[in-house]
Amino acid sequence: MNSSINLGRLLGIPIGVHWSWIGIFAFVMVILALSYFPWRAPDGSAALHWVSGAITSLLFFVSVAFHEFAHSVVAVRSGIPVTGITLFFLGGVSRITHEPEQPGTEVRMAVAGPVSSLLLAGLFAAIWLPTRNAVPGVADVALWLMGMNLLLAAFNMVPGFPMDGGRVLRAAMWSRMGDYMRATRIASTVGTIIGLVMIVGGLVSIVVVEEWEWQRGIWLVFIGVFLAIAARNSYRQEVLRDSLRHLTARDVMVAGLQSIPAGVPLNVLATGHFQSEEQECLLVESDGTPRGLITERDLKRVPKKQWESTDAAEAMMPLQGGEVALPADDGLKILERMENADVDFLPVMQDGELLGVVGRDRLLDIGLEGPKTKS
């Protein structure tokens, strides 16, 4: 989650928020403080409006987190491990180790989010009803959050991939046609078209400039751009995953790694071997026998002040007992193992013998090129 801020773990799942949320949080707070709360409570002070805006924006963030976490809970219960969640505006991304293998599983995962948002809308409605006359300040917060959770549920059910509704559409097409990639292409195309329609509609609203129309227009343009880009990128990701399925470890592995003695201190590696970009992964040997792999990333896991007293054998990824790839393993399975183990290289082993190493960057580069057809 290099582009996100780590918020900790919930039920063992790492939670992060994308850096762009900071700007969205501020934007929502400003709109609430300058427009919504002055409209709902014109006699309230500016300070109260800003505090209410901040609290409401924060609770909206919690609502988005709850929506995305519902997807992850269903995924885990369906036997699909979740390696992390990154939250964005109006949704998020659950990093799962593999896509659902059946349309029914995808439908259950997809609808879990909107259902959770509807439940939250019901909760805020239950708060708004008894407070709308007695405690107007609380009622105004609850009313806005009720409406936004309804909008969150409705927006995510838009039938365009990668939105929840698009995943339901893909599952339906997948079940009907039996072709996962064709169903993904159709759902992604629908998502792109809907995004473009939103952008055009938003621009028209901005040009009209009648009271709130310009604000609605900005939201429509923003959401439309988000959906169009997400649809395009998600389809590219699925194409890459499909390409990786047609590659094997033997196709992409690199043999003949440079070897180093197990007793080499890390400070020597840092100032020598890893200064060259070509030396991304080294083979650690002891008495001529391969023992493990070490990368610059492994060095960074050790505090710099301990480099001089720590040798390669202590920082390496051991060949025995660690994650490995078999020569016939497909590229997607290898990538999933790398993500689960949080490593950039996997040794390719057969009958206890090291055949080579698969690197994440090389694997993705070859995957993006697509499988080579044999003439």
Instruction: Please indicate, yes or no, if residue 109 is contained in any of the structural domains.
Output: yes
Report if residue 162 sits inside a domain: no
- Tell which residue, 85, 88, 27, 93, has the closest CA to residue 61: 88
Domain identity same for 151 and 184:
no
Last residue of a domain, one of 97, 126, 157: 157
Same domain membership, residue 148 and residue 3: yes
Are 3 and 126 found together in one domain? Answer: yes
Question: Can you tell me the distance from the alpha carbon of 194 to that of 131, in angstroms, rounded to the nearest whole number?
Answer: 38
State which residues form the domain around 12.
1-157
The type of residue at 64 is V
- Of 189, 212, 242, which residue is a domain's last? 242
Read off the pTM: 0.73
Residues 270 and 196 in one domain: no
Instruction: Evaluate whether residue 163 is within a structural domain.
Output: no
Q: Are residues 206 and 319 in the same domain?
A: no
Give a yes or no: residue 293 inside a domain: yes
Digit-by-digit pLDDT tens for the chain (375 residues) are 345 677 777 777 777 777 777 777 888 899 899 988 898 888 888 999 999 999 999 999 889 888 888 988 888 888 887 777 777 655 566 667 667 788 999 999 999 999 999 999 999 999 999 998 888 889 999 999 999 999 889 988 988 888 899 999 999 999 999 888 899 999 999 999 999 999 998 888 887 766 556 677 887 888 889 889 888 988 888 888 888 888 999 999 988 888 888 888 888 887 776 655 556 788 888 888 888 888 888 888 888 888 888 888 898 888 877 788 899 999 888 988 888 777 888 899 888 888 989 988 888 888 887 655 443
**Nearest 5°: phi and psi at 143?**
-65, -45
* Residue 359, C-beta contacts closer than 8 angstroms, at least 6 positions apart: 254, 280, 281, 344, 345
Q: What is the count of structural domains for the chain?
A: 3
Q: Does 130 lie in the same domain as 222?
A: no
Domain match, 3 and 147 both: yes
State whether 15 and 102 are in the same domain: yes
**Among 330, 328, 326, CA closest to 351:** 326
Domain end among 207, 225, 242 = 242
78-83 LR contacts (CB < 8 Å, sep 24+): 78/105, 78/108, 78/109, 80/105, 80/109, 81/340, 82/13, 83/14, 83/339, 83/340
- Which residues does residue 259 pair with via DSSP β-bridges, in sequence order? 283
Does residue 289 form part of some domain? yes
**Helix intervals (H) in the chain:** 20-31, 37-40, 46-77, 103-131, 136-156, 164-177, 180-208, 213-245, 249-252, 266-271, 296-300, 312-315, 331-341, 360-369
Residues 148 and 236 in one domain: no
Asked whether residue 30 is assigned to any structural domain, the reply reads yes
CB-CB neighbours of 169 under 10 Å: 23
Treating both helix axes as pointing N-terminal to C-terminal, what angle do 103-131 and 136-156 enclose, rounded to 10 degrees?
160
User: Do 229 and 351 sit in the same domain of this protein?
Assistant: no
Whole-angstrom Cα Rg for the chain: 25
Tell whether 96 and 193 lie within a shared domain. no
Residues 18 and 100 in one domain: yes
Has residue 149 been placed in a domain?
Answer: yes
Beta-carbon contacts of 273 under 8 Å, excluding residues fewer than 6 positions away, are: 258, 260, 279, 282
Q: For every residue of 30-71, which 3-state class applies, written as one string?
A: HHHHHHHHHHHCCCCCHHHHHHHHHHHHHHHHHHHHHHHHHH
d(CA 317, CA 307): 16
Task: Let me know if residue 128 belongs to a domain.
Answer: yes
- CATH code of the domain containing 300: 3.10.580.10
